[in-house]
């Protein structure tokens, strides 16, 4: 979960689940200077002079990502321009046992790109070439530092766009999207990043450049690309990504509907999907989130609404027209008392402005807040939202809800005032309890922001020790020396020759001859 203060993501002493001073997770500043010197030497040989930063003050620019209350100054930052340069640095890291962390734009909200004090931060900001846009194959090959929206900008003249649209799409990178399996408002209809990445050029933690997936569909063998998407930089570094492009729709219609309560809005969501209609997006905001958005953007959301839905339909004009009538009817049948239809791009942008600025807007009504991210089956929405409301009233901690209702991806914003003694701790407890609610309703501790360092400690609430060890076997197969983004995703070091967990002897899978311990 990410903690923000006011409208900015800034530092603060709010307790996190893994303390940044936990050197097992973040590294020791004095760790093996000889090894770091050797890696620095190689980096100087292969990179242009401006591609390497080792000045302490400049290094601090990279000390955090979007989860800014965790901060670690890296030992070295490199900015490669080519896959070969990146691979040479990774190879040196491998030879000298130095950890490395990949970083795209640093907008991640789970501390995934938090550097290691004893490691190298590999920043992809100078790998921003769109290598090719192949309209006839409906795909593009881009370097990892390319900004999400720039893929769409490159494809639009040919009538295509890149569908996954995180709210950060103006700044986040495709490499970061791949590593986080990022989602967005339009992923309900079009799927998450994993459905749009069809190939990757990839630097293994040993420094080899390999190709995963590719142009032909359904390659035989294990789905290694599938393993890499969403692996949060723990399996290696993507140096090029082949993405699927989607045809621009003939028509787009956006509807804003006001409901008395989140229950009614949730029922309308289920009714729409139940009727066989899959809108491009269905987003929900509750009364507190509406209040914040209204104060910040004057988006004209209906007064007195307990919840609003932003529903967008796209596709062939005839289909959109037909479905739009049906969606309006279903909203009305489920209690919508106000509806506004965008008739031009400006009106559409205003409706979306309220939703897309909601995280920052909450700074208008609370000095500090935690952005939580969890997911539940869509049909559990009314029950879980009621349970969150109960948690809020019993604890006295206010919670605003803004979320992708269509796919059950919640973003509760837990409000508090750091100046009030104990308020941060109370907010943290409510935030953790919301994750428990997600798990107990068949959901997950993260919908799209990833585990990173922030939620590593929550993994055992969702997975058994055996589950976690099995995942570690996959990680060890790629990275037996645990140098790729160590300390992230998993709660404690296990297997790979690290401190053993509960299993004192061999892992059950190893004992059964089903897996090999490295």
Ligand X SMILES: Cc1cc2nc3c(=O)[nH]c(=O)nc-3n(C[C@H](O)[C@H](O)[C@H](O)COP(=O)(O)OP(=O)(O)OC[C@H]3O[C@@H](n4cnc5c(N)ncnc54)[C@H](O)[C@@H]3O)c2cc1C
We find the least distance from the C-beta atom of residue 196 to ligand X, in angstroms, to be 13
Judged by beta carbon, residue 244 or residue 507, the one nearer ligand X is 244
We find the least distance from the C-beta atom of residue 452 to ligand X, in angstroms, to be 6
Query: Is residue 465 packed enough to be buried (19+ CB in 10 Å), middle (13-18) or exposed (0-12)?
Result: middle
Between the two ends of the chain, the Cα-to-Cα distance in Å is 33
Q: What are phi and psi of 461, to 5 degrees?
A: -70, -20
> CA–CA separation, 176 vs 156, rounded Å?
22
The DSSP symbol for 501 reads -
The residue ranges of DSSP E strands in 110-207, in sequence order, are 120-123, 130-134, 139-142, 160-161, 197-203
Strand pairing report for 76-78 and 399-404? unpaired
User: How many angstroms separate the Cα of 139 from the Cα of each of 193, 241, 363?
Assistant: 14, 10, 39
Judged by beta carbon, residue 267 or residue 280, the one nearer ligand X is 280
Judged by beta carbon, residue 176 or residue 335, the one nearer ligand X is 176
Judged by beta carbon, residue 113 or residue 293, the one nearer ligand X is 113
We find the least distance from the C-beta atom of residue 176 to ligand X, in angstroms, to be 2
The number of CA neighbours under 13 Å toward the Cβ of 123 is: 23
Judged by beta carbon, residue 176 or residue 424, the one nearer ligand X is 176
Q: What angle do CA 97, 103, 104 make, to 5 degrees?
A: 150
Q: 224, 128, 244, 120: which is closest to 175 by C-alpha? A: 128
CB atoms within 10 A of CB 206: 18
We find the least distance from the C-beta atom of residue 122 to ligand X, in angstroms, to be 8
For 189-232, give the DSSP string. HH--GGGTEEEEEEE-TTS-EEEEE-SSSS-SS--HHHHHTTST
Judged by beta carbon, residue 65 or residue 286, the one nearer ligand X is 65
Judged by beta carbon, residue 112 or residue 119, the one nearer ligand X is 112
Contacts to ligand X by CB under 6 A: 65-66, 101-109, 112-113, 124, 144, 166-168, 172-173, 175-177, 179-180, 182-184, 232-233, 237-238, 359, 448-449, 485
Q: 240, 179, 211, 203: which is closest to 92 by C-alpha? A: 203
Judged by beta carbon, residue 51 or residue 176, the one nearer ligand X is 176
Judged by beta carbon, residue 314 or residue 407, the one nearer ligand X is 407
We find the least distance from the C-beta atom of residue 104 to ligand X, in angstroms, to be 3
For residues 500 and 492, the answer to whether their CB atoms sit within 8 Å is no
For residues 213 and 154, the answer to whether their CB atoms sit within 8 Å is no
Is residue 499 within a helix (H) or strand (E), and if so which, with residue range?
A: none
> CA–CA separation, 182 vs 165, rounded Å?
8
Judged by beta carbon, residue 172 or residue 376, the one nearer ligand X is 172
Q: What are phi and psi of 409, to 5 degrees?
A: -90, 105
Judged by beta carbon, residue 139 or residue 404, the one nearer ligand X is 404
We find the least distance from the C-beta atom of residue 146 to ligand X, in angstroms, to be 10
We find the least distance from the C-beta atom of residue 125 to ligand X, in angstroms, to be 9
For residues 282 and 403, the answer to whether their CB atoms sit within 8 Å is no
Residue 244, SS3 per DSSP? strand
User: How many angstroms separate the Cα of 420 from the Cα of each of 361, 368, 459?
Assistant: 21, 11, 30
Judged by beta carbon, residue 182 or residue 482, the one nearer ligand X is 182
The residues, ordered by sequence, that sit 6+ positions from 85 with a Cβ below 8 Å of its Cβ are 46, 47, 51, 78
> CA–CA separation, 296 vs 19, rounded Å?
33
We find the least distance from the C-beta atom of residue 166 to ligand X, in angstroms, to be 3
Judged by beta carbon, residue 74 or residue 144, the one nearer ligand X is 144
We find the least distance from the C-beta atom of residue 205 to ligand X, in angstroms, to be 11
We find the least distance from the C-beta atom of residue 501 to ligand X, in angstroms, to be 23
We find the least distance from the C-beta atom of residue 200 to ligand X, in angstroms, to be 9
Query: Is residue 228 packed enough to be buried (19+ CB in 10 Å), middle (13-18) or exposed (0-12)?
Result: buried
We find the least distance from the C-beta atom of residue 78 to ligand X, in angstroms, to be 13
We find the least distance from the C-beta atom of residue 337 to ligand X, in angstroms, to be 28
Residue 46, SS3 per DSSP? helix
Q: Name the residue whose CB lies closest to ligand X.
A: 176
């Amino acid at each position: 979960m990410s903690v923000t203060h006011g409208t900015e993501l800034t530092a603060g002493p709010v307790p996190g689940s893994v303390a940044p001073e936990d050197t097992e997770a973040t590294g020791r500043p004095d760790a093996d200077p000889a090894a770091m010197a050797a890696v620095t030497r190689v980096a100087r040989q292969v990179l242009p002079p401006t591609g390497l930063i080792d000045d302490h003050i400049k290094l601090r620019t990279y000390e955090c990502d979007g989860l800014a209350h965790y901060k670690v100054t890296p030992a070295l930052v490199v900015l490669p321009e080519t896959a070969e340069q990146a691979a040479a640095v990774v190879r040196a890291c491998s030879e000298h046992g130095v950890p490395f962390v990949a970083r795209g734009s640093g907008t991640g909200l789970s501390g995934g790109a938090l550097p290691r004090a004893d490691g190298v931060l590999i920043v992809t900001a100078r790998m921003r070439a769109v290598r090719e846009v192949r309209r006839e194959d409906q795909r593009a090959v881009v370097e990892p530092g390319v900004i999400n929206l720039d893929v769409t900008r490159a494809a639009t003249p040919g009538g295509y766009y890149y569908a996954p649209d995180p709210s950060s799409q103006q700044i986040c990178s495709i490499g970061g999207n791949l590593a986080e399996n990022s989602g967005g408002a339009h992923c309900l209809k079009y799927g998450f990043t994993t459905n749009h990445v069809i190939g990757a050029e990839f630097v293994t933690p040993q420094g080899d450049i390999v190709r995963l997936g590719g142009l032909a569909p359904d390659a035989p063998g294990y789905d290694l690309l599938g393993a890499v998407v969403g692996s949060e930089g723990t399996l290696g570094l993507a140096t090029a990504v082949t993405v699927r492009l989607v045809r621009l729709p003939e028509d787009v219609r956006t509807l804003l509907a006001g409901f008395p309560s989140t229950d009614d809005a949730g029922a309308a969501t289920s009714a729409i999907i139940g009727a066989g209609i899959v809108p491009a997006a269905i987003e929900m905001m509750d009364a507190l989130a509406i209040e914040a958005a209204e104060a910040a953007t004057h988006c004209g959301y209906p007064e007195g609404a307990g919840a609003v839905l932003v529903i967008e339909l796209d596709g062939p004009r005839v289909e959109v027209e037909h479905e739009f009538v049906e969606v309006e009817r279903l909203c009305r049948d489920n209690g919508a008392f106000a509806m506004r239809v965008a008739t031009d791009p400006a009106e559409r942008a205003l409706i979306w402005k309220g939703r897309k600025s909601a995280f920052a807007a909450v700074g208008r009504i609370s000095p500090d807040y935690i952005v939580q991210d969890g997911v539940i089956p869509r049909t559990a929405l009314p029950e879980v939202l009621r349970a969150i409301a109960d948690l809020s009233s019993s604890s006295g901690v206010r919670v605003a809800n803004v979320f992708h209702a269509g796919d059950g991806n919640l973003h509760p914003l837990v409000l508090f005032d750091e100046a009030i003694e104990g308020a941060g701790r109370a907010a943290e407890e409510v935030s953790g309890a919301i994750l428990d609610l997600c798990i107990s309703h068949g959901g997950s501790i993260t919908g799209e922001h990833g585990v990173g360092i922030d939620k590593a400690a929550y993994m055992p609430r969702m997975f058994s020790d055996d589950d976690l060890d099995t995942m570690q076997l996959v990680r060890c197969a790629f990275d037996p020396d645990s140098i790729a983004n160590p300390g992230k995703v998993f709660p404690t070091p296990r297997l790979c020759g690290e401190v053993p967990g509960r299993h004192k002897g061999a892992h059950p899978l190893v004992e059964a001859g089903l897996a090999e311990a490295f």
